[in-house]
Amino acid sequence: MIDLKDKRITVTGGKGFLGRALGEKLKNAWGCRHVAIADLPEYDLRTLPGIEKMFIDQRPELIIHLAAIVGGIGANSENPGQFFYDNAVMGIHLLHEAYLRGIEKFVALGTICCYPKFTPVPFREESLWDGYPEETNAPYGLAKKMLLVQSQAYRQQYGFHSIFLMPVNLYGPGDNFDPRSSHVIPALIRKCIDAMEAGQSEIRVWGTGNASREFLYVDDAAEGIALAAERYDKPEPVNLGAGFEITIRDLVELIVTLTGFVGKIVWDAGKPDGQPRRMLDVSKAKAEFGFAARTTFADGLRRTIEWYRKTRQEPALK
């Protein structure tokens, strides 16, 4: 176990959705005194000069690598080369430099997209190499998966302390609501609220609604990462999730109810569903470092909707 309080901790991607939640969690719940952020534009971690600048400026003892180029099905389909290269090169260089500089521990964040397309539900860590990922996000998923290979290889050859965590889709206040790159929950919340404000009688939703997903509230994810950083030090990857499954059709109906939208839902079956089913086996996280999600899905959605409504009503700063 590592006492995180006095460690110099760098959170890559610390300005992002999960990064902000993790920074607050480390400072407020763990009492960490030295939490630094490595993010654009100050540090371009896709380049060696950007990584070297981060190490010189921050002198980290522990790195939590959250930085990633991410997006929903549409963004992944439109930018497969960028999503592969940017994520792969960033992770490879960052972990290698951390090893060379004697960093005490490296916490790498993977993704549920690492799993094969037809993984049996619930997804168990042992199934990770049983097939190819779902095609629309395979370049992103495989780029992140290489971090696991590198992490295990460096532990085996050099004794480097690196761990690999795989969270499900995250949601919560502060999420990305840009329709060009958002994931399914913020996209649906925005569709409903925009339609209500514009007086529109219907919303259009991608796919058939038959695919299923699992979602983890961002504050719970931050707690899981902090617990793993403090308590976990083994080569095997670990799932981070809430341990439930919901179809996209049921998700849409729930968000429609919670936002108050009363119009028609039009399903665009010509658009891809993505991976058919997603739900994690979360028993390893509980057994290894005591993590279990605490926020119910309905409560998390209510907080997210409330945050989005409040944020969009605030006047822009001049």
Catalytic residue IDs: 140
- Return d(Cα 140, Cα 111) in angstroms, integer: 9
Q: What angle do CA 68, 279, 210 make, to 5 degrees?
A: 100
Determine phi and psi for 205, rounding to 5 degrees.
-125, 135
Burial status of residue 249 (CB atoms within 10 A of its CB: 0-12, 13-18, 19 or more): middle
Show the 3-state SS of 40-77.
CCCCCCCCHHHHHHHHHHHCCCEEEECCCCCCCHHHHH
- Return d(Cα 208, Cα 266) in angstroms, integer: 10
- Return d(Cα 169, Cα 217) in angstroms, integer: 9
- Return d(Cα 223, Cα 215) in angstroms, integer: 15
Q: Could you tell me where the beta strands, DSSP code E, fall in the chain?
A: 8-12, 34-38, 62-65, 105-109, 162-167, 169-171, 202-206, 212-213, 215-217, 238-240, 246-247, 264-268
Show the 3-state SS of 159-192.
CCCEEEEEECEEECCCCCCCCCCCCHHHHHHHHH
Burial status of residue 221 (CB atoms within 10 A of its CB: 0-12, 13-18, 19 or more): buried
CB-CB contact of 44 with 50 (8 Å): yes
- With the C-alpha atoms ordered 252, 258, 259, 260, is the resulting torsion angle positive or negative? positive
Secondary structure of residue 20 in the 3-state scheme: helix
